[in-house]
Amino acid sequence: MKLENSLDFAKSLDNIDPLKNCREEFIFPKHNNKEVIYFTGNSLGLQPKRTRSYINEVLSDWGNLGVEGHFTANRPWWDYHERFSKQLAKVVGAKPSEITVMNTLTVNLHLLMVSFYRPTKKRFKIICEEKAFPSDQYLIASQVRFHGLNPKDTIVELKKRKGEHNFRTEDILNTIESVGEECALVLVGGVNYYTGQVFDIKTITSVAKSIGAYVGWDLAHAVGNIELKLHEWDVDFASWCSYKYMNSGPGSASGCFINEKYHGLTDIPRFEGWWGHSKEDRFLMGSNFIPEPNANAWQVSNAPIFSLAPYLSSLQIFDEIGMPKIIEKRNLIVKYLEFILNNVAANTQSNFEIITPLKSKERGTQLSVFLHGYGRKIFDYLMSNGVFVDWREPNVIRLAPVPLYVSYVDIYNFGKVLQSGINSLKGISKN
Ligand SMILES: *Cc1c(COP(=O)(O)O)cnc(C)c1O
C-alpha cells in the first residue's frame, strides 16, 4: 500500500479499519474540548466506558449484600480471580490453568522468584538486560542480596553493542551459553520499555532451558501488544501489569503465567496464603496448606475485587476482538506513524532517529524517537497542543498508537502538530 500524508488518505484508512468502532469503547481526556491524541497507552491505557459498570456492580453488591457478597454477588468475590483464566490464556498463549491474577507486577515477580530463583553454590547467576526497567533492577538486586549473594558477582547483564540501540539475539544467546551451568535464572522484559524492541522470546527461552536455567519474562510492555505463546514456548513463568496496553486502570491487578509443570507440587518453595489453598476446603480453616491444583496456588490474599473488576471489564474487549486483529491493525498504524515521522523530518529538515527496530517482527506498538535538536521543548509543545506523548531522559519521545483506540486521522493530525511545533521552535530560535 502506498501511504500518503493527507487527511483524505488517513480518513480512508479509518473507513476500512475493522477496529474503527472500538474507539467508542474508550473515554478520551479532552484538551480545549477536543479529544486528545493519546500516544501514552503504553504507560496508562485509556478507561473503557464499560469499566464503570463493573465497579458499580461491586459497590452495589457490597452495599446490598454485605459479607454475603462473597458467595451471592452477581460475580461472587471468593472466586472472582478465576474469571480471568480462559480469556487471559488466549491473550498470552497459555492453558487457562496456567493463569492467575493477583497483586501487582513487581510483587508478583518477587513471589515468583521465591519459586524460580533458587541459587545453589554452583548455579546462582541471573541474566537480565542492561538498563532494565528500574523496578526490575531493584527487584533482582534485592533478591540476590536476600540470598546472601553479591549482585556484582551474580547479575549478568545482556549488553547492546557500542553505538547500537538494540540487543542482538545472537549476543543474547552467546551470553546465556557462556554463563552456562552457573545460570540459575534468565529474567528479561519481553518488550524493552525504552526502545520498544521485541525480544525473540521463543529462541531465548529455548536456549536458556538448554543450559538448565529457569526462564521468566516480565511482560509489562508485551501483553495486549504482541503475539505470545507462553505455553508452547515452554516459558517457566511470566508476569505483567494490566494498566498499560490492557487498559485496566492505575495500579490494577497483575497477571501471572506459571507453567503447568509446576502445578500441584507441595514441595516447591513458595510464599503461601489462604487464597492459594484448595478452594473446596479453604473455609474449613485447616492448618495444612493444600495448594490449588493450578496457578492459583500462588495466590496469597483475599482477592482485591476493586482492582480486579476494571481488569475483568477491559479483558472483555480483548476477548471480543482477539489479538490477531489487534496485531494486524498495529502493524499498519505503526507503519503509518513511521511514514508520517519521516515526512515531517523531510519537510522540516530535521534529524529524527527512530531507535525502535524497523523490522515488524522486532517491534510492537511503540516507536521511540530521538528528535535531535529539539529536546524537551517539542515535548512541551505537543502536550500543550493536545498530544499525549511520553518523554524519557535524555531526549527520547515514546509514541504508542494503540490499535484499539487510536485512529489514522490521529496520526495525520499528530504530524501536523509536530511540524508546526518544529517550525515555531525554529522561528523562536531565529529571534
Ligand atoms: C511498567 C513496568 C513495571 C511496573 O511495575 P509495577 O509493579 O506494576 O509498578 C515493571 N517492569 C516493567 C518492565 C514495566 O514496564
Dihedrals phi, psi of 54, to nearest 5 degrees: -70, -40
Distance in Å, CA 135 to ligand 1 centroid: 6
Give the CA distances from residue 112 to residues 57, 102, 183, 238, 259, in Å, rounded to whole numbers and listed in that order: 32, 12, 17, 8, 12
Task: Please tell me the predicted confidence (pLDDT) of residue 428.
Answer: 54
CATH code at position 236: 3.40.640.10
Give the domain-ending residue among 263, 286, 321: 321
Rounded Cα–Cα distance for residues 160 and 158 (Å): 7
Buried b (16+ CB within 10 A) or exposed e, 391-411: eeeebbbbbbbbbbbbbbebb
**Closest by CA position to 207, among listed 228, 183, 240:** 183
Q: Mean pLDDT throughout 352-358?
A: 95
> How many structural domains does the chain have?
2
pTM: 0.96
CATH number at residue 360: 3.90.1150.10
Residue 188 falls inside a structural domain: yes
Give mean pLDDT, residues 133-156.
97
pLDDT tier at 1, thresholds 50, 70, 90: confident
Would the CB of 230 count as within 6 Å of ligand 1?
A: no
pLDDT digits (tens, 9 = 90+) for 325-341: 999 999 999 999 999 99
Contact by Cβ (8 Å): 258, 100: yes
User: 186 in a domain, yes or no?
Assistant: yes
User: Which of 165, 244, 162, 233 lies closest to 197, judged by CA?
Assistant: 165
Distance (angstroms) between ligand 1 centre and the Cα of 146 equals 21
Cβ(186)–Cβ(238) below 8 Å: no
CA of 140 to the centre of ligand 1 (A): 13
| Residue 193: domain span | 52-321
Question: What residues form DSSP beta bridges with 256?
Answer: 100, 239
Indicate if the pLDDT at residue 266 is higher than 90.
no
Query: Looking at the chain, how many residues does it have?
Result: 431
Q: Is 390 in the pocket of ligand 1 (CB under 6 A)?
A: no
Tens digits of residue pLDDT in 46-101: 999 999 999 999 999 999 999 999 999 999 999 999 999 999 999 999 999 999 99
What are residue 423's phi and psi, to 5 degrees? -60, -40
**303 and 373 together in one domain:** no
Among residues 279, 305, 321, the one where a domain terminates is 321
Q: Are residues 77 and 195 in the same domain?
A: yes
- Kindly state whether residues 280 and 389 are assigned to the same domain: no
